[in-house]
Each structure stands twice: as C-alpha cells, then as structure tokens.
Amino acid sequence: MAIIKEDLLARAKEISQAGVDYTPRYGAICPWCGTKKLPVARTMSWDGSTRVRYHKCPGKSCIISKLGIGIKSIEEDYYANK
Ligand SMILES: [Zn+2]
C-alpha cells in the first residue's frame, strides 16, 4: 500500500513540474487533491500560443501543498496563430 502511495506522489510531483492544463473554467487543477482554480503565484508572458503560470495549492491536507511543491500550468490559445 505504502509503495502505491509513493508512486502516486511521485507521479503527482512529475505532473506538477511538467505542467497541468489551464482551462478557462477551472483554471489549474491540483494533480494531488483536485482543488480547482488554484491561486496563481506567478504568471509568465505569452510565448507563441502558450502561457505558463505557477500555482500553490491551498489544500490544508494536500501533500503537494505540504511539501511546498509549486504546480505549473500551461494555457494554450488555439486561435493565437490564426
Ligand atoms: Zn492540492
């Protein structure tokens, strides 16, 4: 059981660092606890059709939050290049 949890945490860390999708409706969603509209810590400039943001999860019982892991999100504007 413990091993499975560690695997899930490793996966959630990977996703946090690689970037989750940023959606107009839900913003960024925590890959561990599923909190929607994560508060934004830092917003980067548009780079082509994508924009990167960094978030912190406010979930009190969220491991990602407890470990101080920032969550990256990527917004894509599908019309940017049209
Ligand atoms: Zn969380």
Q: Which domain range does residue 22 map to?
A: 2-76
How close is the Cα of 9 to the center of ligand 1, in Å?
11
The pLDDT confidence band at residue 70, using thresholds 50, 70 and 90, is very high
Q: How many domains does the chain have?
A: 1
Contact 45, 51 (CB under 8 A): yes
pLDDT at 2 over 70: no
Look at residue 23 and tell me if it is in a domain: yes
**Is this structure's pTM higher than 0.85?**
yes
Q: What is the pLDDT of residues 7-38, one digit of tens each?
A: 999 999 999 999 999 999 999 999 999 999 99
How close is the Cα of 80 to the center of ligand 1, in Å?
30
How close is the Cα of 52 to the center of ligand 1, in Å?
18
How close is the Cα of 76 to the center of ligand 1, in Å?
22
Look at residue 67 and tell me if it is in a domain: yes
How close is the Cα of 65 to the center of ligand 1, in Å?
6
